Structure 1
Amino acid sequence: MYVEGPAQSWARTIEQKKQVPTEVWQDLNDRGFLRLTAPAGYGGFGLTFTDYLKLLERFAHMHGSMRVIVHVMNSLWRALDSKADDAQRQKFVLPFIQGQHRVTFTLTEPNSGSGADMKTTARRDGDDYVLNGEKWMIIFSDVADYFLLFCRLEGTSGTEGTMALLVPRNAPGLDIEMMPAAMGITGTGHGHLRLRDCRVPVSHRLGSEGDGLEVAFRGFLDPSRTAIGMTCVGAAGRSLQLATQHAIGRTTFGKPLVKRQTIQMWLAEMATDIEAARRLCLHAAECFDNGESITTEAAMAKLFGTEMLQRVTDKALQIHGGIGYFTSSEIERIYRDARMQRFEEGTSEIQKMVIARDVVSTAMQEKAAQTEAAQTEGSER
């Protein structure tokens, strides 16, 4: 099987060379792994989101950089397609799905959060937009052909005037500086983008002026956050597998680790945590497949999944003991890669804000309904 065979070989190569070879991208694309969720009419396999997540759990046993490639490529086409017209679909969406060019999500800024407070601006100048601002920690900046970049019209604030633009890598006025290597996800490049009077054709705008955040959140972040939750399930499952195998094989003081009650309690906690996270992700996926909004469900899946992965990998490393801390150990890499998940597509604190907003909104609606019912009852007396 690919995950246990070629993917393991690629993982060793990535860790040794500290980069993801172009051949990895090509291999994943040739096997069809980067278009699992795209519609069959677009050249994809048309998997339901639920079925895709079940596969993604297995893919998450791979090296973190390979997991990120599979996850992003199977998620980003939705954002591209959500507001694309026919010409844009032919120029951007279909080639992306077929692996002919690479696009990366470009939202985060150094001096603002990831949303309505973004500061990168655009002004209309004939058939172009002129962009000024900065983006950073942008994944795949070293290999992307286009940046799906979110900005706002000059003079607007909040959600007003936000836009989604496909910025070519060679756009005049765009400077890409690669950032230092990250703690984990070895080989995956992140960039600091500076836009100084960067010109982008108006024809590269997805949707209308004002649609930017809808493209970002509805088109990409909700399903992507759910998918991240499931990659945490997969990585945690591999951690549990490695920890259990080590506990069976390791003997101390004349007794296998697996016979010790403390180790058994940890394994039980890890397994329960993983199953709970899996169910949250699959519930969100089923809602998504039914056409329902999953903003809250996605935030729950990501929040619990990422926090769960930290707990599981920490216990797994503790079970391995000192030998697990060395780079020759697979659990060392998984532990290192796991920390990124709590930043990716919004921190845990952001997810809690999303969830709390829904809880409060629901409570206020219920209270309003109760008040209205009481007033109606009183008027009928």
Structure 2
Amino acid sequence: MAVDKPAGLDGRGTAVDAGTYERLLADVTAWVEGPGEEWARVIESTGSVPAALRTELRERGFLGLAAPRELGGAGLSFTQWMGLMEVFSRSHASIRMIVHVVNGTWRSMNPHATAEQRARYVLPSVAGNITVAFTLTEPLNGTGADISSTVRRVGDVYLLNGTKHLITFGVHCDYWLLFARLEGSSGRDGTVGLLVARNSPGATVEDTSNTMGVRGTDHARLTFVDTPVPVDRRLGEEGDGLAIALGGFLTPSRISVAMSCVGLAERAQELAVGYARRRVTFGKPIASRQAIAFMLAENAADIQAARALVMHAAAEWEAGSGEAPALSSMAKLTAVDMLTRVTDKALQVHGGLGYWKSEAIERVYRDARAQRFEEGTNEIQKAVIAKDLLDRAAAKEEAGA
């Protein structure tokens, strides 16, 4: 299967001019603070994302911002995209999730797609005309090479067997971008990346969307029993599965999730500052109380420190630095811990009222907890960082020997 790899389609080498970017930033900010808040109320009250919201995001071009112009996107650089991701993340978590995922899955598909696959799957995904759900995680396995879903080839078809869970948009997608291994293989060499149609025979979909936070984003548990997948829906070659899943997707996605933490923390801080200025005790706003003011000051410093690391990681990935994978884990680890501290203090500033659904901070607090495991837990991030640190020390020692 010949893979067509046009240059410059990884989203690193392009950027829009400053004027265009400022207009985009203003447009996104106005939408998040206006219509986005109205949609947030609808999502929270119904527990689902209306089809009309997805249509609006598509028509505004918000689902293709991160992709290069050659794929129908806006042509933003990755660091520019992070500035917009920061703003989107101040909105409802399900809105952020839609924008984040659709603006990211093309990175996984595009480098390994044939010209026909690019036209059939990648371009429609960037345009927002189809939804592709990233389908890696399994209930009885770790992430990465530790997957047990299998395929066996029969002529021009793979027969897929296995179970996946925690699959975002797995219920209402058009395709699952699914990772499995050749029957009888082990390690990364036998892994494959497949585009599996949502209505494929032998596929059972269980909606598992009843979550603590991030209401409205559907999640699925998927079971496959001899599900036929045409071989021409395989991305890349047999053995490329993990490279597709992790190579072009995981590092920028971790950085994007880290920036999501920053944006959500900024929203929590905004709510806390506003409440502290309004709430009066003994004739004075509680913002004048040192205990409250110090919480807000700590939050402000925490947010700025995390944001600086996230943007550094984004710039390094954009430049193709070998340090980017470890930096992405550092950024995610740091930002999610920051978010935990900031949202806790922000809710504390609200006192008991912050625990009630009538206050916006209640939703922000619930949504923040999900970030602790999106794109890997803190423990995974620490393992990645430690391995990179020790590998670099060993290489330096060997070079000096």
Matched, 1:8 2:37: yes
Can you list the C-alpha shifts for 1:215-265, whole angstroms capped at 9, x where unaligned?
111221110100000011000001111101111111123332111111122
**Alpha-carbon distance in 2 for matches of 1:227, 1:18:** 25
**Alpha-carbon distance in 2 for matches of 1:180, 1:76:** 21
**Alpha-carbon distance in 2 for matches of 1:285, 1:85:** 28
SS class of match (1:150): strand
**Alpha-carbon distance in 2 for matches of 1:180, 1:162:** 28
**CA shift for structure 1 position 329:** 0.7
Any conservation in 1 of the 2:159–2:228 contact (CA below 8 Å)?
yes
Superposition pairs of residues 233-252 of structure 1, within 5 angstroms = 233-252=262-281
Any conservation in 1 of the 2:90–2:267 contact (CA below 8 Å)?
yes
Give the corresponding residue for 1:356: 386
Can you list the C-alpha shifts for 1:191-236, whole angstroms capped at 9, x where unaligned?
0000111110111111111111111112211101000000110000
1:194 corresponds to which of 208, 223, 226: 223
Matched, 1:50 2:83: no
Give the corresponding residue for 1:316: 346
2:110 corresponds to which of 69, 78, 81: 81
Give the corresponding residue for 2:21: none
Any conservation in 1 of the 2:344–2:365 contact (CA below 8 Å)?
yes
**Alpha-carbon distance in 1 for matches of 2:383, 2:292:** 35
2:183 corresponds to which of 146, 151, 154: 154
Give the corresponding residue for 1:34: 63
SS class of match (2:90): coil
Matched, 1:121 2:132: no
**Alpha-carbon distance in 2 for matches of 1:100, 1:264:** 47
**Alpha-carbon distance in 2 for matches of 1:269, 1:225:** 25
**Alpha-carbon distance in 2 for matches of 1:368, 1:132:** 45
**Alpha-carbon distance in 2 for matches of 1:143, 1:220:** 22
**Alpha-carbon distance in 2 for matches of 1:74, 1:189:** 17
Matched, 1:297 2:327: yes
> Percent identity among equivalent residues?
51
**Alpha-carbon distance in 2 for matches of 1:196, 1:307:** 40
How many aligned residue pairs are there?
371
**CA shift for structure 1 position 180:** 4.5
Amino acid paired to 2:96 = R
**CA shift for structure 1 position 336:** 0.3
**Alpha-carbon distance in 1 for matches of 2:79, 2:209:** 36
Amino acid paired to 1:361 = D
Give the corresponding residue for 1:259: 288
Amino acid paired to 2:289 = R
- Give the TM-score, by structure 2 length: 0.91
Matched, 1:205 2:209: no
Give the corresponding residue for 1:376: none
Give the corresponding residue for 1:25: 54
**Which runs of 5 or more residues in structure 1 are unaligned?**
373-381
Give the corresponding residue for 2:212: 183
Give the corresponding residue for 1:377: none
**CA shift for structure 1 position 100:** 1.5
Give the corresponding residue for 1:277: 306
**CA shift for structure 1 position 104:** 0.8
Higher Rg:
1
* RMSD across aligned positions (CA): 1.0
**CA shift for structure 1 position 156:** 1.2
Matched, 1:347 2:377: yes
Amino acid paired to 1:312 = V
SS class of match (1:342): coil
Can you list the C-alpha shifts for 1:107-131, whole angstroms capped at 9, x where unaligned?
0000001111111011111101111
**Alpha-carbon distance in 2 for matches of 1:179, 1:17:** 16
Give the corresponding residue for 1:375: none
**Alpha-carbon distance in 1 for matches of 2:60, 2:221:** 31
**Alpha-carbon distance in 2 for matches of 1:125, 1:328:** 57
SS class of match (1:165): strand
**CA shift for structure 1 position 277:** 1.1
Amino acid paired to 1:127 = D
SS class of match (1:208): coil
1:63 corresponds to which of 82, 85, 92: 92
- Give the TM-score, by structure 1 length: 0.96
Matched, 1:332 2:362: yes
Matched, 1:368 2:398: yes
Report which stretch shifted further, 257-266 or 144-153: 257-266
SS class of match (2:165): strand
**Alpha-carbon distance in 1 for matches of 2:337, 2:171:** 29
**Alpha-carbon distance in 2 for matches of 1:292, 1:155:** 36
Amino acid paired to 2:395 = Q
Give runs of ≥4 in structure 1 deviating > 6 Å: none
1:215 corresponds to which of 225, 244, 260: 244
